[in-house]
Structure 1
Amino acid sequence: MLTTRLDLDRIRVARRAIDPIFLDTPLYECDALGRQLGCAVSIKLETANPVRSFKARGTELVTGLLADQGRVGVVCASAGNLGQALGWSGRRRGLDVTVVASRWAPAAKLDRIRALGAELELVDGDFEAARERAAGIAQQRGVRLVEDSLDIETCEGAATIGLELADRTPSFDAVLIALGGGAMATGVGHVLKTLAPGVEVICVQPAGAPAMTRSWHQRRVVTTDSTSTIADGVAGRYPIRAVLDDLLAVADDAVLVREASIVAGMRMLLERAGLVVEPSAALGVAAILEDPDRFAGRHVVTIICGSNVDLDAYHRWVRS
């Protein structure tokens, strides 16, 4: 029995509570991608929903709970995708949603947060500065602060991806998961290690934002002074101890990949799979590109976690 904060029964209940529009996302083997990478590659397409990322699986649980409690407001810090998801889930339940983000976050993500009706406050600095400001707003207004990965609902919402993978009687032997704060990695990892323990759970993070990966390898919280990566969605500097403990229980490995490999992965997903993705979603392909011998002849699932990308930046990257 795995010892984590997550609970399989609660995750199964979560599956019934989340709006079905975010569930049962496509899972298919992409032959063209696999031929180029030298292994069988299946894609779990978490962008096929109204917010174009997996994050709403968690915000659906959070906002449903708040609505049941009669709460009227909620705030979060976001690199972009969580804010969109919270805006979508909160709006349909009549909640006042405030999102705090770095003013340097991708404009496409910020515009979408506003379009979903959330109050958007921008701060100078990175995600950690946004997190500090969001905590202050929660205290001032007496509203719920949603902290991605720390709040168990965000992890157990993401864990429903693992249920969908396990339901397919896994023919795959490894899953590649983008690693940032850890909600998706701990959630999916927990389910697979419980229901399909033979599947290798591999977390992938940019070398320019290595805090959680370093923490996993050293089995203690390791922070960094800064980040330098185009994968803004996973660019945290301060891992959360409770999330790291969960990750240590369910991940088989955590690897770092170079920026050039992330760009190559984005280009490959466009050319071979017809998918426009944000950098975080290309981390799994980047990991295969950097260590092809490890995956040769295997069947790997990579979770395409988000497609909210600034198109001008995207065109610069894939054309470089």
Structure 2
Amino acid sequence: MTGTRLDLDRIRAARHVIDPVFLDSPLFRCDPLGHRLGCAVSIKLETANPVRSFKGRGTELVTSQLRDGAAVCASAGNLGWALGWSGRRRGVDVTVVASRRAPAAKLDRIRALGTTLELVDGDFEAARERAVELARQRGVRLVEDSLDVETCEGAATIGLELVDRVSPGDAVLIALGGGAMATGVGHVLKELAPGVEVICVQPAGAPAMTLSWRERRVVTTDSMATIADGVAGRFPIAAVLDDLLQVADDAVLVEEASIVAGLRLLLEEAGVVAEPSAALGVAAVLEDPGRFAGRHVVTIVCGGNADMDAYRRWAGF
């Protein structure tokens, strides 16, 4: 495989650094969901950990290098909670910058850790600009999700947990935002299970990375509109795109109605409360059932930090 920034030996070694509470997350065949979707479906449940998302795998690697240090990050919520959790465990002083529009539940959980939280007007990109400024002013580590290879290689440990459970012809559906999970899991699968199709899924309302993958160059967007806040960005990172081009077989866009339908199906048929970003894989099958008919599909449920008032509206109760 053409090289990426990631390294399989480092990914394997990461399992000895990451707190075991984030490793070996549940992976199970969900026949009721598969019956509804017309294919065999396995769920990789990345919500069964203290921060309810896969982000802790990467922040464990970052903070292992910063014991008793300090770090700043921009976050839509999940990275900030994970970095705060890992930072508290290792004595790292963490500041999180987030948009005021971020889900209140995610912001409350960051505050509950005692992590410093600064809110800004605008979207995630405004938070990213402020985080860069703070890190420069303070002379501390700026943690940039997806750009920092540790965040990708932490997420890649999910791939190590999948390779013995997939076969050639299977498809693994991965939510695509900044690209850490997609490049990480994709790298491992292409190295160790090359016959498996790696499909990235992004909301049509926040399509920048998918458009970039299709055109093989960075494509930015002026705005974004999606309930899947965890994958909503407008400015793809060139180095991450280069990695993604090596490991993704396809990148697809899905509509908001399909994301909501995916949330409902995960709740009704799997008993899983997922945030919108985590329902993207199910949404992709709903929009193109013929592509997946009769196949084995693995969907990574990457987070469960939904705003519950909004979730009740989406789920219809």
Report the TM-score when normalising by structure 2: 0.99
- Please give the residue correspondences for 1:137-152 in structure 2 after superposition, counting only pairs within 5 Å: 137-152=134-149
Matched ranges for 1:56-205 at <5 A? 56-67=56-67, 71-168=68-165, 170=167, 173-205=170-202
Q: Identical aligned pairs, as a percentage?
A: 81
Task: Quote the RMSD (CA, aligned, Å).
Answer: 1.0
Aligned mate of 1:264, from 261, 273, 276 = 261
Q: Distance in 2 between matches of 1:130 and 1:83?
A: 12
Q: Distance in 2 between matches of 1:123 and 1:10?
A: 35
3-state DSSP of counterpart to 1:17: coil
Q: Which runs of 5+ in 1 are unaligned?
A: none
Structure 2 equivalent of residue 40 of structure 1: 40
1:171 deviates by: 7.1
- 1:20 paired to 2:20: yes
Unpaired runs of 5+ residues, structure 2, are none
Counterpart pick for 1:250 among 247, 251, 257: 247
The amino acid that maps onto 1:88 is: W
1:247-274 CA deviation, whole Å, 9 max, x = no partner? 0000000000000000000000000000
Q: Distance in 1 between matches of 2:272 and 2:88?
A: 28
Give how far 1:172 is off.
6.7
CA distance in 1 between partners of 2:34 and 2:267 (Å) = 14
Structure 1 letter corresponding to 2:297: V
**Which letter maps to 2:155?**
A
Equivalent in the alignment of 1:231:
228
Amino acid at match of 1:44: K
- The code of the aligned residue for 1:231 comes to A
Q: Secondary structure at the residue paired with 1:92?
A: helix
Q: Does 2:8 align with 1:2?
A: no
Aligned pair count? Answer: 317
Equivalent pair of 2:167/2:195 in contact (CA under 8 Å): no
Output one character per residue of 1:94-119: Cα deviation in whole Å (capped at 9) or x when no partner.
11110000001000000000011210
Segments of 4+ moved more than 2 angstroms: 167-172
Deviation for aligned residue 1:170: 3.8
Cα 1:65–1:20 change in 2 (3 A) is same
Give the drift of 1:16: 1.2
CA–CA distance in structure 1, aligned partners of residues 275 and 113 of structure 2:
20
Q: C-alpha distance in 2, partners of 1:110/1:252?
A: 35
Q: 1:301 aligns with which of 281, 285, 298?
A: 298
Who is 2:50 aligned against?
50
